[in-house]
Amino acid sequence: MNATDMVKAAYRSCLGHYGYYDDEAAAIRRVLKNHGIYEWPSTKTFRSYLDVLKITGLQPLFGIEVTKTKQKFPTNIIELTTASSYALPWREWPNYGIGKRRAMKIETEYKYMIKNIILLLNNKVQDLETTARSIISMEKAMAKLDEMRRDRVSGFWTEPTLSVSDLNTLFKNGFPLSTLLKSHFKKANITLKSTDRVHLPFLHLTRAVVNWTELVNSTDLYNFIGWLWILRYINVAGGQLTQYFEEFEENTQFSLRDPKDWQDVCLDALVTDETTMYAPAAYLYLEKYFTPGEKVKAFNMVRNIATQLTTLVNENPWMNTRARERVREQIKKLIFRIGYDDFFVNMNYLNTLYTFVNKTSFHQETPFIKIYYELHRNQELKFMNMLNTREYKYDYRFGPFLTHGYYDAHRNILIFQAAALQGRLSEETIPKSYIYGGLGATVAFHLARTVEATYWDGNGTSVTGARFVWDGISVDSQCRYGNTKPVEVKMEELSFAAYVESHLAFKAYKSALNDTNVEYTLPIDTALTPEKLFFATFGQRYCKGAGLGFSAEERENG
């Protein structure tokens, strides 16, 4: 089973189990067990808080990531933070316009929800009230501690980066952070060295949380960690777990979530940073959000730009006759596709992103909470694996939101990203801010790059089988920062795509500066002259950074 099959099975499971699982309680208990929570809630007495942390691990009380240092010769380091481990804004009711009486009502309903979920997982618990009160009390304490993160005092907050062997010196009573971290990374079969570096961006908060764990009842701490994991899964589990949460929101008229239907919940669960199923789930997004009418408009726009590209090729002064004929023929035969219905990425590579997933568990009858756990666990272990690499971050390149275009020269297929094309296509015209450095630039750039990659390298040499994934970087076309004069590149130094990208961009930028019509738009379906189309689409893509890191308003004013 590959990644595509996995996500389809996961999506069907999520949709199909919105009602109830056959054995929902058992499914949730198995997921908790995978996090070290073997009985929840527990009445077992633990010797100390360290016994609890050795069983459950540091998460979710602490957040653990591998990041890259911002140095000339960067290295990967472990970043340890303290999470906001609570559901409701216990310290901020007035900021939500909620008075004391309503806050008490919300707390009462929250306690009732906790009791229902406890009974769902363990109907033999004797003192529900005490357990629920304990969880709420600990949430309030964590919310209070979290104020330290928001109200940090300048000059007082220290953010040390130490070796693993030096970590324990930061904590009193011998808190064995280095031992717990080593145990955490063992999950990914990684042995921490004493010289590995750990960064603590909120040291005082970390110390406060450690001190707090020393003071609370160890059984309560164990149950609280179990509750935090339930909170993580509560929006995606389905069945009664989600039903109880919805009842709480309905009874209190209070919600921290955006209202979504169940299809949206399932899609979001598959493509969040916690699961990174971006590429396999893209087709599902296309199905739901990219209407047939919008898709027709997108194809019309792409074909229109291709027509103008052909005209530009016919009129250009730098191609010989043979090369021009090949390019025209290639554009004529080019197949356009929008979306990811037939996956074009290297599936062997894509599947390596899910090394730690038990793929045999991805079936429609598998509870989605278990599938989501697999995906989240995979993400966690992949992050830990980065410690042995020099990667900047987890590889999202083949997702529907970051991959703008892809050309397969063997099949002569040019694929456009559905998410990039969908945004404005329900309108009759596309605003200038969207075109500059946006949609049109992406489409035209890949058309030009396709022709160059297939038959033209500047010297008339055939280059077949090339694949290009745009990374938004160009060394051929740059503008001086803060200067209205773009840098012009000599014509003879440019290949075809570079010509389209920089020489016409230079002309277009000068043209755009003289454009006093703020409401300037481009028709989607009406054919334009080649120069006007390319001027507009490439006009400010690199000059002054328009379209790359600026908002729509800044692009309009730039």
pLDDT, tens only, 296-341: 777 777 777 677 777 777 876 656 677 677 777 777 777 776 655 4
CB-neighbour burial class of residue 404 (10 A; exposed 0-12, middle 13-18, buried 19+): buried
483's CB contacts (< 8 A; 6+ apart) are none
Q: Whole-angstrom Cα distance, residue 497 to residue 7?
A: 36
Task: Answer whether residue 169 shows pLDDT above 80.
Answer: yes
Determine which of 172-186, 212-226, 312-326, 496-510 has the lowest per-residue pLDDT on average.
Answer: 496-510
Bond from prior residue into 367 cis (ω within 30 degrees of 0): no
What average pLDDT does the segment 34-40 reach? 93
Return all residues near 312 (Cβ < 8 A) that are at least 6 apart.
Answer: 500, 530, 534
- State the pLDDT at residue 398: 42
pLDDT(193) > 70? yes
Q: Rounded distance, CA 356 to CA 351, Å?
A: 10
Q: Is the dihedral of CA 319, 322, 327, 329 positive or negative?
A: positive
Structure confidence at residue 76 (pLDDT): 80
Q: Please report the pLDDT score of residue 300 as a whole number.
A: 76
Average pLDDT of every residue of the chain: 72
Please report the pLDDT score of residue 421 as a whole number. Answer: 56
- How far is 417 from 406, CA to CA, in rounded Å? 8
Please, which pLDDT band fits residue 525 given cuts at 50, 70 and 90?
low
Which pLDDT score, from 0 to 100, does residue 289 have?
67
pLDDT in tens, 67-97: 877 666 667 889 888 877 888 988 888 888 8
Which range, of 114-128, 237-251, 266-280, 468-482, averages the lowest pLDDT?
Answer: 468-482
| Residue 232: count of CB within 10 angstroms of its CB | 18
The residue type at 205: L
pLDDT in tens, 472-519: 333 223 332 333 444 443 433 445 555 555 444 455 445 545 555 434
pLDDT at residue 498, as a whole number: 53
CATH number of 3-275: 1.10.1380.10
CB atoms within 10 A of CB 74: 12
Cα dihedral angle (215, 220, 223, 228), rounded to 10 degrees?
-50
- DSSP string across 453-501: HHH-SSSS----S---B--S--SS--B-TT-SSBPP--GGG--HHHIII
Q: Which residues contact 57 (CB under 8 A, 6 or more apart)?
A: 35, 36, 180, 183, 184
Is pLDDT at 549 greater than 80 in this prediction?
Answer: no
- Is 242 a residue whose pLDDT tops 70? yes
The domain locations on the chain are 3-275, 283-344+395-557
3-state class (DSSP) for residue 415: strand
Q: pLDDT tens digits, residue range 58-74?
A: 999 998 988 877 666 66
Residue 220 has pLDDT above 90, yes or no: yes
Task: Please tell me which of 122-131, 414-423, 544-553 the model is most confident about, judged by mean pLDDT.
Answer: 122-131
